[in-house]
Amino acid sequence: MKIRIIGAVAAGTSAATKARRNNEEADIVIYERDTDISYSGCGLPYFIGEEIESMEVLTPRDPSFFKNEHNVDVKIGHEVLSIDAKNKTLEVKNLESDEIFTDSYDKLVIATGASTFIPPIEGRQQDHVFGLRNPRDARAIKEYIDTHQPKKAVIVGTGFIGLELLENLVHLNIDTTLVELMPKITPNLDEDMAKLLESKLEEKGVKILKETSIQTIHKDHVTLQNGDELEADIVLIATGVRPNTQLAQEIGVEIGPTRAIKVNSRMETNIKDIYACGDVAETFNLITGKPHWRPLGSTANKMGRICGDVMTGGNLEFKGNLGTGIYRVFDISIGSSGLSEKEARELGYDIEIIHNSKEDRPTYMGGQRMVIKAIADKATHTLLGVQIVGYEGVDKRLDVLITLMTYRVPVEDFFHIDLGYAPPFSTTKDPVHYTGMIFSNILNKELPLINCADLADCKDRVTLIDTRSKQDVEKHGMINNAQHIPLAELREMCKHLDPDQHIVVYCNSGTTGNIAQNLLKNSGFKEVSNLSGGHSLYKVVTNGSHQ
């Protein structure tokens, strides 16, 4: 069996090594037009910022490794120019010698990955303008910084690559401004959580310009759409990637609605004996079953392994993914998985949303607050999506919630999971437990939450009660139109409230508000809501206006 693979990064090499494990006799060759293979693309920003000192750490394997360990031939500097699907042949060019030759295959894998999308900005071809996709890009950026010592940078785009670049440029003492076309930063977060992240970045002095784009790049500055200028000795474009589907399209391989190659759960395309995997291929969403494209190294490795197994007679199948992502900006951790609130509503789900603000471990052990936004399906009581902004411990909670979402565990049962506890690691009731408790209160005890945006729209039509202490109110202020009734006084003061009026209570983060909500419900009040995320989140979502 002759297996030929186009592309030698995560998916291509995973396909090759799995195929070899299944079949010792197969003739396996990978063609790669670049010189770096099987590299850790996600570590590239940290090489630029000198947290990772050597590129060799990110590119630990060369062609000799795959030959010696797996008897797989990796031909670097070889570009596949065309595919003849009818005759099962490839036209290949040796980029070093310019030799063009023909090879044949029994099974073909297209793992051509994705390329940086560079918007058509005037001046984008200059030598101080960069995208970041591979080690070659990272070396070029690092060399430019070392040689020219730029003082001012502009990053276009606020996805995870843009934000990771921000952190690393700041570590190099480069004054950096983020420019974002959309009205909110970071596409993986809903607006409320994006505003929370933005507020944390601004506290660190990060400059963010939204709803604008660069019109022209000059040698030492950029001109924005509105004519404003920003100093810039270096410009980094982080506006996403596009799948490299040209070779596939030329032979009639079907392209899916995400603009990536359409494959089934076995990584098979519509053409017999041709497979696709990695960033060039779309998958499907585990929750909705709809086509999904989220280019990540973790997903590419899974797809490659499945592809290599199927080609050699195995039965592995792709089970779907959730679009999980996590990244770090300075000391802030940001994670998300599943559907966003916006996506869930657009798909017609009847949803319940909570904002759970809790420490990752006791404050006496250095615990810091994280905010968990969780979205549940009212019909099935299962989790549809989660977003977390915090510090340490975000990864742990994200992974637990993803596991519960994957296996469709009812949200009420989150409370019953026997998670590990000791003060250096967690609180006695973990943030995951609290997430289940809050959902249980809403779904089973009729203790509704109201989100910040909805309260801002209706607060003139409700009785709004601030249940915090006098000290908290003096320190942090109140929402306009709120009455201040501390929890300790609420039992007595509630006699003077209208039990038929819709009452909204709030505290700093939601816990005291829940106590007040129970008190009022048990006292005969018909409609009582607690502000999701409390005053601290409301202040962020409304930009501190308290309107």
Query: Using CA atoms, how far apart are residues 373 and 452, in angstroms rounded to an integer?
Result: 12
Token pair belonging to 190: 């809903």
Burial class of residue 395, CB neighbours in 10 A (0-12, 13-18, 19+): middle
Burial class of residue 455, CB neighbours in 10 A (0-12, 13-18, 19+): buried
Query: Using CA atoms, how far apart are residues 182 and 255, in angstroms rounded to an integer?
Result: 27
Burial class of residue 137, CB neighbours in 10 A (0-12, 13-18, 19+): middle
Q: How far is CA 3 from the centre of its chain?
A: 34
* Count, residues in the chain: 547
Query: Using CA atoms, how far apart are residues 394 and 410, in angstroms rounded to an integer?
Result: 21
Q: How far is CA 417 from the centre of its chain?
A: 26
Question: What is the SS3 assignment for 293?
Answer: coil
Query: Position of tokens 């950026």?
Result: 141
Query: Using CA atoms, how far apart are residues 102 and 365, in angstroms rounded to an integer?
Result: 64
The H or E element spanning position 542 is none
Per the rule left: phi > 0, alpha: psi between -120 and 50, beta: everything else, 393 is left
Question: What is the SS3 assignment for 295?
Answer: coil
Radius of gyration for the alpha carbons in the chain, expressed in angstroms and rounded: 27
Is the Cβ–Cβ distance between 15 and 304 less than 8 Å?
Answer: yes
Collect all residues with Cβ–Cβ distance below 8 Å to 295 and sequence separation of at least 6: 113, 114, 241, 243, 278, 279
| Catalytic site includes residue 42 | yes
Is the Cβ–Cβ distance between 83 and 59 less than 8 Å?
Answer: no
Phi, psi of 530 (to 5 degrees): -110, 140
Query: Using CA atoms, how far apart are residues 349 and 340, in angstroms rounded to an integer?
Result: 11
Query: Position of tokens 């308290």?
Result: 546
Task: Return the closest-CA partner of residue 445 out of 412, 469, 477.
Answer: 412
Query: Position of tokens 């505003």?
Result: 195
Question: What is the SS3 assignment for 8?
Answer: coil
Cα torsion angle, 485, 488, 489, 492, sign:
positive
Query: Position of tokens 């990584």?
Result: 267
Catalytic residues: 42
